[in-house]
Structure formats: C-alpha cells, structure tokens
Structure 1
Amino acid sequence: MTPIKPVALSLLLGALAACATTAPVAMPQEFVLVRHAEKASDDPRDPTLSDAGRARAQRLADSFAGRELFAVYATDYRRTRDTAGPTARAHALAVTVYDAKLPAAEFAAQLRGKHPLGTVLVVGHSNTVPAIAAALCGCEVAPMAEDEFDRRIRIVFDGQGQAHLSQTRY
C-alpha cells in the first residue's frame, strides 16, 4: 500500500471540510419598545403626530434601515400607528394592532410566543411601555415621564433565554 503524501492529505482534508455544513446561527429574539412620538393638540382623545413627532417617527424608521424586522406592533391610536407606520412601510410590514389594556405580562408572553426569533418593534404609551419591557425582561424598568418621547428600550434574549436590556435615546 502506498502512503498518502502530505500534499494529497491536505487536499483531501480541505475537500472534506468544504463539504461539511456548519450549524446555522440562530437570530436572537429581540424586542424594541418605544413610546409614540410627540402628539399634536388637534384631538384630545386621539391626536395625530405633531411635526416633531412625524420627524421622530421617521428617525425611528431610519434606525432600522438595513436590518431585518419581523413584526411591528402599535395600539389602536393614531399617534402609535403613525409612529410605527414609517418603520412598517420601510420593511413592507403591516402594523399589528394590540390592545393597550391587555395586561403587560400577557402581552409579553404573546410576543415571545409568536416571535421566537428576530426583531420586533412595539410602539405603546408612557404608561404601558415600561411595564411591557419589565414583563419581557423580568427586570426593573423606570417609568416614563409624560414629556418623554425619545427612550428606546431594547431587550435581547441570548441562546440560554436570558434577557439583556439596554436603553438609548433616538
């Protein structure tokens, strides 16, 4: 029997390595939560966005440019739908309306169950976003002031299901 020469062995091992498949990298489960943008004073019950609010909604959409987004949620109010709209349109997604009165823990469980992978945007209100974020991460989240429109809460679940919360301004 003829021994395999080092060059031939290297070629053989290289060919085998090329045929091997690598395990796919799973997308993390990620939720981005924001309060609706600045509202106008045109309707006390269901106002539209102000000029500043429309500009903020566009900045939110721009912040997702080049990223894959799996779903966009908003409550059934013009200010939340209009905040979510530019992002949803940029990703060819519909805005899914959720009930603002749904308990935070129940809504968080629904989100985690429906979206086990990928990034999801949730647009809510100053009195709901912190509670939803806290229910998702199982951690403390500071309340939002009535005049706070720029907080972006991001919760990412790692491969072991551990939540990691970060907060930025946009």
Structure 2
Amino acid sequence: MKKVSWLLLMFFCAVVQAKSFYLIRHAEKVDDGSKDPVLTLQGQQRALNIAHMLSEAAITQVYATDYQRTQLTAKPLADHLGLPVTIYDPRELTAFADQLKAQEGNVLIVGHSNTTPMLVHLLSGEPAFKMSEAEYDNIYQLVIEAGQITLTQFKSLPMQSGGNQSTIEK
C-alpha cells in the first residue's frame, strides 16, 4: 500500500511540475497607419476562437504588451477565465522569460511578429525563427515537464458563423 501511495504521489508531483506556455502573435490589426491600431473584424473573430481553443488549457496567467492589438487579442480568454491581462515590456524579453520560467501554472503570452519568435527561443532554447507581418494564425505551445521541453505549433482560425470547434488538450 505504501508503494502504491508513493507512486501516486510521485505521479502527482510530476503532473504539478509540468507547465505550458502558449505564445501567439496578436490577431489581425486595422491598417490605419497608427502605431496602436485595434483589431479588424477578422482579428476580433480570431481572438474569440483563440479563447475558445484555450479555454480548457488550465491557463492561470495572461500576458500581453501594452498595445491595443495585443490587449484585444488576449481579452476574450482573460475575461472567460476571470483573469487580468498583465502587461509585459517587449523590450525586456530576457528578464520576462526568466520571470515566466520561475512561475507556476500555464500561461498565455500575446506578442508581436518580432517578439514572439524571440520569446519562444528564450523559453525553449530552440533557434529563433522568422515570423512575417502577415502571419496571425500560429499558436506555439511550449510544455516543460521534468526538464524536457516540447514545442508544438497549432493553427487558429477566425471564428466562422456557427463557431469553430477546435480545441487544444490540457
């Protein structure tokens, strides 16, 4: 009996230590020439779909830069989960990555085409990749468990009438 209890405790501890980071670029933005545009209708629909996709991912923290497009992309999920959207400084990615590594729980981070690849690199050690200005549909899931890092890429779609039933498992 003690052996079974010990094994269950070890399994539980391993599960508790696993954490996931979901890194995305903001959804489609209005091309109005401003430095801080809002989301297009398609971008708003994509933000809703991301919220739907990640609603069961046990996210405990939501981060976004201090721009309307990132805040509006993060807001539907944060609202659904009853979480605030915490602002991070995209100019301080190394310090932010260290902060993320030290905290518990699953996290959504909404960034930009020039910050999301670098943050994936800082968190995973994988080579940085390029992200085009037209790329809005990638979700990078980085799972850290028992010192092992797994990076998976998913696609998000803008919400269609009737909804998109895509989900990501916890």
TM-score using structure 2 length: 0.82
Runs (5+) with no aligned partner, structure 1: 1-15
Hey, what's the Cα distance between the residues in 1 that align with 2:55 and 2:111? 21
Q: Secondary structure of 2:59's partner?
A: coil
Partners of 1:66 and 1:108 in 2: how far apart? 24
**In 1, Cα distance between the equivalents of 2:101 and 2:57?**
20
Q: Which residue of 1 aligns with 2:100?
A: 111
Residue aligning to 1:6: none
Task: Tell me, yes or no, if the aligned pair for 1:105 and 1:136 is still in contact at 8 Å.
Answer: no
CA distance in 2, matches of 1:163, 1:105: 18
| 1:150 aligns with one of 101, 118, 137 | 137
Equivalent position of 1:125 in the other structure:
112
Shift of 1:39: 0.3
1:22-57 Cα deviation digits (max 9, x unpaired): 312433111000000000134511000000000000
* SS of residue in 2 equivalent to 1:93: coil
* Structure 1 residue runs of 4 or more that deviate by more than 2 Å after TM superposition: 19-22, 24-27
The answer to whether the aligner puts 1:95 opposite 2:85 as a matched pair is yes
3-state SS in 2 of match to 1:130? helix
Stretches of structure 2 that go unaligned for 5 or more consecutive residues are 157-170
Structure with the larger RCO, 1 or 2 (CA within 8 Å, 6+ apart): 2
**Within 5 A, what are the aligned runs for 1:1-170?**
20=5, 22-23=8-9, 24-25=12-13, 26-27=15-16, 28-42=18-32, 44-102=34-92, 104-113=93-102, 115-116=103-104, 118-159=105-146, 161-170=147-156
How far the C-alpha of 1:105 sits from its partner, in A, is 2.2
Distance 2:150 2:130 in 1: 18
Number of residue pairs aligned between Structure 1 and Structure 2 = 150
**Aligned alpha-carbon RMSD (Å):** 1.7
- What is the DSSP-based 3-state SS (H/G/I as helix, E as strand, rest coil) of the residue aligned with 1:70? strand
TM-score between both structures, scaled by the size of structure 1: 0.82
Which sits farther off after the overlay, 104-113 or 54-63?
Answer: 104-113
Counterparts of 1:156 and 1:79, CA distance in 2? 26
Larger radius of gyration: 1
Alpha-carbon distance between aligned partners in 2 of 1:84 and 1:164, rounded to the nearest angstrom? 23
